[in-house]
Amino acid sequence: MSGETHPSTHPPLPPTTEDDRVAWLRLLRSRRVGPGTFYRLLAEHGTAQAALAALPQVAQAAGVADYAPCPPGVVQAELRAARGFGAELICVGQAAYPAALYDLPDPPPMLWARGQLALLHRPAIALVGARNASSLGTRMSRVLAQGCGAAGFVVVSGLARGIDAAAHSAALPHGTIAVMAGGLDVTYPPEHQKLAQQIAAEGLLVSEQPMGLTPQARHFPRRNRLISGLAQAVVVVEAAARSGSLLTARMALDQGREVLAVPGHPFDARAAGSNMLLRDGARLVRNADDILETLPSHAAPAPSTSPAHGSPPPLRPQAHHTPRKTPHPLPKQHRPPLPGACAKPMRCTSKYCSASAPAPWPKIS
């Protein structure tokens, strides 16, 4: 036990030993432990080791019988796979951890990353959109990615077909981050193997999921919260009605990020989602300048001036995030609920639930 009165109002200290790190990962990979539960357990029990020891009892109290935490062997295998892949583990509270994610109600306690870690500390713009994009859409994605990149912004996307791939490719020379829905070593879609390798070399691959995990439908919304979370603004380049990009846009709004969209003619169904966002108040994008204009830190720092991995650990090294300038443009009834902090019922039956809790610690400004 830490003995602090309100331990949950401060970020946990990152693990300092290899044992700590393994215990953190075991706790995080334990069944029914999402980020919210992770932080509560850590705050209540002081260390991940203590939390792991208490976990079966906690589960029992929440009505879950026969509960066992994640076996050490599983975590050891994950660490081995990561070493083989050249991935690094970034823990919340460490200097390498992206400050932008502290805005989220459920920042991932640990992230796998491979590539240029310094990209996590540069201002970023997310470009998202349809997998089955039109040729206009992919062309626009390239133009915007190139323009944002040239202006010093990192382009964040999801490595999907269509808009995402076009954005990553065009932004490669300037810096791009692909947030993956599955394990860092599982390229999805498979045909983006070469693109993923390029990003791992020149850009950055990031995932909060265990190495080796094949992404399933439920992983994408959680991944999307990181795409918007890492960025100051989310631009929906092309999206049909009821597309995943709209969910990302709405999460972005709830995270206080700017939401922008590229219009299309109403007779083009592939623009129906973007037009809906525009009708609901998103800012209209015709070119990269339209994006850059909305951001306060228009003059983005050059990559070379970014804090490097291993520099002193400021919790919020750069206050480069845009507070939402206007009221939520989407009427309440149009906003889907955010994916819960924990994906399993424990969040509903346990005091360790964080689904409706505020951010685990107040913002340090």
Spatial contact of 126 and 249, defined as CB atoms under 8 Å apart: no
CA distance 49 to 282: 45
In the complex, the smallest distance separating the C-beta of residue 295 from a second copy, rounded to whole angstroms, is 16
∠ at Cα 334 (330, 336), nearest 5°? 110
Q: Which of 157, 224, 275, 306 binds a second copy (CB under 8 A)?
A: 275
In the complex, the smallest distance separating the C-beta of residue 256 from a second copy, rounded to whole angstroms, is 22
Q: Which of 242, 286, 325, 351 binds a second copy (CB under 8 A)?
A: 286
Q: Which of 89, 136, 357, 359 binds a second copy (CB under 8 A)?
A: 136
Contact window for a second copy (CB under 8 A) among 49-57, 190-198, 220-228, 257-265: 257-265
CA distance 271 to 140: 13
The footprint of a second copy on residues 138-177 (CB under 8 A) is 139-140
Q: Which of 52, 58, 199, 271 binds a second copy (CB under 8 A)?
A: 271
Nearer to a second copy, 31 or 279 (CB): 279
Nearest one of 305, 308, 252, 302 to 281, comparing CA atoms: 252
In the complex, the smallest distance separating the C-beta of residue 268 from a second copy, rounded to whole angstroms, is 7
**279 near a second copy, rule: CB under 8 A:** yes
What kind and span of H or E run contains 77?
helix 72-85
**194 near a second copy, rule: CB under 8 A:** no
**264 near a second copy, rule: CB under 8 A:** yes
Give 95-128 as a DSSP string.
TTS-GGGGGSSS--SEEEEEE-GGGGGS-EEEEE
Q: Which amino acid is at 291?
A: I
Place of tokens 């334990």: 30
CB atoms within 10 A of CB 310: 10
Strands of the sheet with 110-115, listed across from one edge: 88-91, 110-115, 204-207, 176-179, 154-157, 124-129, 233-238, 258-261, 283-284
Q: Which of 6, 18, 194, 265 binds a second copy (CB under 8 A)?
A: 265
**128 near a second copy, rule: CB under 8 A:** no
CB atoms within 10 A of CB 63: 10
Place of tokens 């995932």: 207
In the complex, the smallest distance separating the C-beta of residue 29 from a second copy, rounded to whole angstroms, is 45
**328 near a second copy, rule: CB under 8 A:** no
In the complex, the smallest distance separating the C-beta of residue 245 from a second copy, rounded to whole angstroms, is 16
CA distance 276 to 239: 9
Instruction: At 125, list the tokens.
Output: 């713009």
Q: Which of 3, 73, 190, 266 binds a second copy (CB under 8 A)?
A: 266
Contact window for a second copy (CB under 8 A) among 97-105, 132-140, 178-186, 355-363: 132-140
Contact window for a second copy (CB under 8 A) among 75-83, 99-107, 213-221, 286-294: 286-294
In the complex, the smallest distance separating the C-beta of residue 265 from a second copy, rounded to whole angstroms, is 5
Which residues bind to a second copy, rule: CB under 8 A? Answer: 136, 139-140, 262-268, 271-272, 275, 278-279, 283-287, 290
